[in-house]
Amino acid sequence: MDITFLGTGSGKTDPEKYHSSLFIEFDDSQNLLIDSGDSISRCLQRNYIDYSSIQNILITHTHSDHLAGLPSLLTQMKICRRKEALKIFVHKKHLGMISHLLKIFHVPLEFLDFEAELVPFEHGAKTKIKIHSGFFAYPNTHILPEGKYTSPGINPVSSSIKIFENDKEFFYTSDIGNENDLINYVNYPYEIFITECGHVSLNAMGKILKGIMSPEIYLIHYHSEELPVLRDWIKSLEPELQKKIMIAYDSLRKTIR
């Protein structure tokens, strides 16, 4: 599978970067867009990705830099006369909220000119995309279920994701609450490990990543202004760990075979 880091920015708007989002091209001709923050339609164009080539979208959580671009992306698909079917994977607690959101923006799935459905996923369960590909979602503390915005029908949660195709797997933390969300996932030899670095103390992250089994670690979710701090932090790490860590940038591509 091929991974394109569409955006590697944080929630803060950055003239140099798009919000964090990944595009996965599986070998079985299925493509998956992970997250659709505001500006995602323009971001896809910048990466020469045709809207029609996206068969699947996965939303890790409902913050605007991960979800706000979904209604406008569907609008673009409609304007471009898309015909291909589309699946949008959302946590089961987000089904009602996102369905309502799409109605507000005049893109209810049942009235689009192409087949589109919201597909619920659960934490800890395997969700298949095709026979040999799919993902597992895991809870993290970025958004707590009992958070301050919870009300009837509004139950936001946040997910980290393991993507697989055949026996190849990679892990993407998406946005996490703190370094404790990393601890459970470093003791496994994923092909690559992608972690956000905006909600984690770099000091603590350095200690946890010391034990990581993946040969490559990619950092995303940072503002351009934070680059010097990240580079200095990497230089302060042990040489073995330094060699594994890469600061991902927009449009970077990585192939896993």
Locate 125 and state its tokens. Answer: 């369960």
In the chain, what is the straight-line distance between the N-terminal and C-terminal CA atoms, in Å?
6
**Residue closer to Zn ion, measured from CB, 165 or 175:** 175
Q: How far is the CB of 61 from Zn ion (least distance, A)?
A: 6
Collapse the DSSP code of 245 into the 3-class scheme (helix H, G, I; strand E, B; otherwise coil) and give the result: strand
Q: How far is the CB of 7 from Zn ion (least distance, A)?
A: 13
DSSP-assigned letters across all residues of 117-141:
EEEEE-BT-EEESSSSEEEEEEE-S
**Residue closer to Zn ion, measured from CB, 4 or 20:** 20
**Residue closer to Zn ion, measured from CB, 41 or 60:** 60
**Residue closer to Zn ion, measured from CB, 143 or 209:** 143
Burial of 46 from C-beta contacts in 10 A (0-12 / 13-18 / 19+): middle
Nearest to 78 by CA among 53, 109, 32, 56: 109
Q: How far is the CB of 12 from Zn ion (least distance, A)?
A: 12
**Residue closer to Zn ion, measured from CB, 77 or 161:** 161
**Residue closer to Zn ion, measured from CB, 38 or 175:** 175
d(CA 91, CA 131): 21
**Beta carbons of 13 and 257 less than 8 angstroms apart:** no
Interface with Zn ion (CB under 5 A): 63, 175
d(CA 141, CA 127): 21
d(CA 55, CA 214): 29
Count of other CB atoms within 10 angstroms of residue 172: 27
**Residue closer to Zn ion, measured from CB, 175 or 250:** 175
**Beta carbons of 156 and 147 less than 8 angstroms apart:** yes
Q: How far is the CB of 177 from Zn ion (least distance, A)?
A: 10
d(CA 75, CA 47): 19
- Write the CB contacts of 111 (distance below 8 Å, at least 6 apart in sequence): none
Q: How far is the CB of 9 from Zn ion (least distance, A)?
A: 12
Q: How far is the CB of 169 from Zn ion (least distance, A)?
A: 23
Q: How far is the CB of 58 from Zn ion (least distance, A)?
A: 15
